[in-house]
Amino acid sequence: METTSSKPNTKDIDTHIVRAAIHPGIGVARVGNAKDDFFIGPEVSTPASAPQNFYRTPEGELKRQAARFRIFGYNKNGDVVKEITPDDATINWTVEVANAKANWFHFITAMDIPETKDLVVKPRNPTVKGSDREQLVIAPAPVTISGQSTKGNDYQFNGTFNSDVKNATDVNVYLGELQTDEQGRLLFLGGHGLSDSPSGKPPYDPENGDSFNNAADWYDDMSDGPVDASVIIDGKDIPVEGAWVVCTPPNYAPDIVSWRTMYDLMVDVYVDNGWMPVPETTSFTNDVLPQLKRLSNLQWVNKGFAAMFGSGAQMNFDDDTLIAKLSKKPSLINPDIDSFGELRNLLLNSFRPNQVEFNDPRLWPWLYGDDFGGNLFQSSPNTMLALPALQQLHLQRWAKGQFIDDWDPKATQATSIDDLELEQQPHELDKAAMHFCLADAFHPGCEMTWPMRHPGMYSAPFRIRRSHQKEKADKWGDSLNQQQALSLTGPLHAQPPGGLTRWMGLPWQGDTAYCRAGYDIEYDQFQPSFWPARVPNTILSEKDYELVMDKNIDRDARYAVFSRRVSWNRFIDKPLDNGDKPSIAQVMDRMIADFSAQGIIEARPGFKDDPDFPDVIYVENNGYSESDAKTLLQAAATLTKGSRAHKLDEAGWASEEQLQDAVKLRQRKPTKR
């Protein structure tokens, strides 16, 4: 069958389509409280920065991020022939999502590391037994949609939740909806970020440390599940490889890329599993420079990274002069002449090695690992994040001068999927969706957690292995240990709807509010951190940005303001009306109520060719009142510089009690078998 398309493959190939596939293989939607306004998630790994106020409505509400899916047709040789749209075929999209968090097990820590060999976790809502646990799973019916520019109430995912077997009243829960765009591509919009307890229970019980991120009688509106499509071209059914969608919390720093992304993690899994080859060469631009630039990228969400890797700092990996040195290979004429070989070697040795045998928080990256237990200097080598195997391989080759020196300071990158050739588009869609998701530390994380590093989760690269049978709510019994979790018949294989997000915290706002930085403020107020790329720690405020841009102010004073950072959590941490410091549960209550007002870190104009100030500056745009900000600044001004109270404030802790309570949350001990 011959086909035509507005976006055909320009190469001379067989144009007979024998199969199709949905891309991205795993799409990511994000919640927001705006009812109708939304934006489409990144479709390339280097998108242009959005304009000011893009992520909020004029009323200050937070927009949802929609996941967009496309269908590509392939010939028998595996070549991409075209993107298939309703202009070419009859297409029906079908999606099924669920939220199974309340029916899943307590999250304590990652269950696949040596330190958790004796970990045993209990189910959430343990008083609900047997088949009654079905009512803990929010499982709307599958939704089918077709056509172009289609939307409406008929395409919503509406389910129910009930944690009380004696109460016949179900709570209705909206998990999102489907739409199609003007080309007939699928749009999945998730929930509105709602978390609630039908009985009004607090989100955290201080008498039960395991209740943190495991709140009884709570639900939220995260979800995940399979995305399918039927395609008929000229009366013939074309087999279609399905995808998966995951609805996650907001991305509060949309342009900031984590030091290690979920895409990086998945590639490691696929290479280790033999699905992708070990790279034969190392590109400075593609394999080395991103590992360095991401350290500098984190300057906008953490003051410690700004001090070492930020604009004007000693290790500013956005500085073309420094990059030019790092990109130079040894002389071809005389290999003994290697002007920057020692610099490369020093940088390699600054990173924590892959097979680390001891804990040293001073090594790069300054990010917590899977086994951070509140004590920065504990013996576990998993206290801090180590170099993954592939990233270490590329850095080692680079340090030895065995790399391709392909850096071009004038090169441009694709900012739209339409900038790429058709055959490049499917993989870039797969990559972009995961590029803006986090890998490590899994406590549990922001979007997906530790099961994603196990090959049994996948049927192929970027394809979730599916369960084709309905999973009984009580299938896994009254406890789960490491051996059961990792077994061939365990839950890390074929996934039901809701299978990915069930491992995450409940409610989601607890994780976002309390995975912070600087748990040992006498060591450093700002370092190490969990994942500031999604959940900022310390940021440049709007007021400080205005001062930085005011050339009538003394330059040194402007740089001092530029170097100053304030806590991203300062509003949810502010004193109560009676002056008392808020408890963990009260901070979580505020985050649940006001998550949409928390600051979005957005791009603003800076200064061109200035040694201290970059040409793009990332600034907080929050939805709180000016009077709140003024009160917080006045309170901070009363603290004695260098005092314990001042350090606590700088680090973003509301009080000594809050810090100690947060440390205790990390020290939860697993139940012994």
pLDDT in tens, 359-374: 999 999 999 999 998 8
Confidence of residue 492 (pLDDT cuts 50, 70, 90): very high
Range with the poorest average pLDDT among 164-178, 223-237, 262-276:
164-178
Predicted confidence at residue 271, as pLDDT, reads 98
Average pLDDT over residues 141-150: 98
pLDDT in tens, 282-303: 999 999 999 999 999 999 999 9
Average pLDDT over residues 82-93: 97
Predicted confidence at residue 10, as pLDDT, reads 65
Pairwise CA distance, residues 374 & 569, whole Å: 19
Predicted confidence at residue 672, as pLDDT, reads 46
Confidence of residue 169 (pLDDT cuts 50, 70, 90): confident
Beta bridge partners of 241: 21
Question: Taking a C-beta distance cutoff of 8 angstroms, is the pair 105, 28 a contact?
Answer: no
Asked whether the bond before 441 is cis by omega within 30 degrees of 0, the reply is yes
Helix (H, G, I), strand (E, B) or coil at 418: helix
pLDDT in tens, 425-460: 999 999 999 999 999 889 999 999 999 999 999 999
Would you say residue 391 has pLDDT above 80? yes
Residue in the structure block whose two tokens are 């300062």: 570
Asked whether the bond before 142 is cis by omega within 30 degrees of 0, the reply is no
- φ, ψ dihedrals at 464, nearest 5°: -75, 135
Would you say residue 536 has pLDDT above 60? yes
What are the E-state strand segments in 534-636? 538-539, 566-567, 600-605, 616-621
Confidence of residue 1 (pLDDT cuts 50, 70, 90): very low
Q: How far is CA 46 from the centre of its chain?
A: 16
Would you say residue 5 has pLDDT above 60? no
Contacts of 530 (CB under 8 A, 6+ apart): 367, 368, 441, 443, 515, 516, 517
Predicted confidence at residue 664, as pLDDT, reads 85
Confidence of residue 419 (pLDDT cuts 50, 70, 90): very high
Pairwise CA distance, residues 317 & 295, whole Å: 8
CA angle 314, 436, 32 (to 5 degrees): 120
pTM of the model: 0.95
Predicted confidence at residue 305, as pLDDT, reads 98
Average pLDDT over residues 173-185: 98
Residue in the structure block whose two tokens are 């939740």: 161
Total Cβ atoms within 10 A of residue 171 = 16
Predicted confidence at residue 404, as pLDDT, reads 97
Confidence of residue 665 (pLDDT cuts 50, 70, 90): confident
- Average pLDDT, rounded, for the chain: 93
Crossing angle for the helix pair 289-297 and 389-399, to the nearest 10 degrees: 110
Task: Write the CA distances from 21 to 189, 434, 488, integer angstroms.
Answer: 21, 18, 28
Would you say residue 4 has pLDDT above 80? no
Predicted confidence at residue 433, as pLDDT, reads 98
Would you say residue 19 has pLDDT above 70? yes
* H or E stretch covering 80: strand 80-84
Total Cβ atoms within 10 A of residue 28 = 28
Pairwise CA distance, residues 430 & 410, whole Å: 27
Among 463, 584, 477, 412, CA closest to 129: 477
Among 511, 510, 571, 509, CA closest to 539: 571
Would you say residue 625 has pLDDT above 80? yes
**Torsion of the alpha carbons at 394, 399, 400 and 403, rounded to the nearest 10:** 50
Provide the pairing of β-strand 480-481 with 120-121: antiparallel
Amino acid at 345: N
Confidence of residue 7 (pLDDT cuts 50, 70, 90): low
Average pLDDT over residues 508-522: 92
Pairwise CA distance, residues 169 & 164, whole Å: 9
Percentage of residues of the chain with pLDDT beyond 70: 96
Beta bridge partners of 231: 91, 238
Pairwise CA distance, residues 67 & 546, whole Å: 34
